Amino acid sequence: MIELLQHYLGGLSSSVAAFFSRAPQEVLRDCLDIGVVATVIYWGLAVLKGTRAMQMAIGLALTFVAYMIAKTFGLITVWTVLDSLLTYIVLIVVVIFQNDIRRALVRVGARSFFRGQRTARETQVIEEVIKAAASLAQKRIGALIVFERDAGLDEFIESGTELDASVTKELLYSIFIPSFENPMHDGALIIRDGRVWQAGAFLPLAGSRDRSLGARHRAALGLTTETDAVVVVVSEERGAVSLCFSGNIVRNLDSGSLRDALFGLFYKPQEKARKKDKKEKATTSSGDERAPIRAASEIAEEKSGG
């Protein structure tokens, strides 16, 4: 074992020495090449982070490690089985990660409605959603409000009624009023490109074992696990507002904490100086009252790259 380790270390040191003994321009070219590949790998891992596909990726990596160990120590039967499996690795990766690959390609080619800097229109959309959520929570009317981002939701939802309407508090409130004559109130409202795209849509349910989660919360988690959508949930039973994103849920948000979380998710780091000041002020307040605000802001900033 020690001889094998010394052999690998000796080969590694010889390879490093040979790499830097070449002409400077060749070394720089190869360093750039390695840097590009490392960036692509990091970006791919960032896309997979927090999804079920990440667990599958770890499983494939462990399979490859087992393959190398079997080859090194001459475990012929194990090596043969794993070699047959890894022969089809490209097909396996495409099948397992098809949703994540599609989402990644969409992120590269699409231009999101929410960009690095806020515009008046985008701010108004968020403010109208916050007002509607607060009013619905006060009346204990359940609601699901979905913000579509880079990944298109067409393949993940059961379509409802297409509206193509402006986002206003009054419209959002009226859609979720429970009535036999209002078939849209049971589904989700989806906002695309700053406008109400659909109402009464149905979302995939997450297989959560948390018994405290109702159908709306499980639907929100199911969609945010598969896509990069952001979902505002109003609980009919408790009259509380929650926010779901990237398979996470932040509960019991008031209007201020919901605003901070949405801005943290949709906008880039230039928004964070303002939010950091607010968060520092929040820490001086009573911990129990401001805990949801701090939790939402911190998680949103972490997911947006902060």
Pair of tokens at residue 52 = 């079920």
The region of weakest confidence among 160-164, 205-209, 229-233 is 205-209
d(C-alpha 145, C-alpha 166), whole Å = 14
Q: Is the pLDDT of residue 220 over 70?
A: yes
Residue 191 parent element (H or E): strand 188-192
Count of CB atoms within 10 A of residue 116's CB?
A: 11
CB 247 within 8 A of CB 284: no
**Residue whose C-alpha is closest to residue 261's, from 281, 238, 242:** 242
In this structure, the dihedral spanned by the alpha carbons of residues 48, 49, 52 and 56, taken in order and rounded to 10 degrees, is: 60
The percentage of the chain sitting over the pLDDT mark of 90, rounded to a whole number, equals: 30
pLDDT over 90 at 306, yes or no: no
- Whole-model pTM: value is 0.60
Handedness of CA 184, 185, 190, 196 (dihedral sign): positive
Rounded to the nearest integer, the mean pLDDT of the chain is 79
Sequence-ordered alpha helix ranges (H) in the chain: 2-20, 24-48, 52-72, 76-87, 89-96, 98-109, 120-138, 169-175, 215-226, 255-266, 272-283, 287-303
Residue 149: φ, ψ to 5° = -115, -125
Q: pLDDT digits over 45-79, tens only? A: 776 665 566 667 778 888 888 888 888 888 889 88
Q: Which domains does the chain have, with CATH numbers?
A: 2-109 (no CATH), 120-303 (3.40.1700.10)
Q: Which region among 29-43, 56-70, 164-178, 238-252 has the lowest average model confidence (pLDDT)?
A: 56-70
Strands 230-234 and 241-245 turn out to be antiparallel
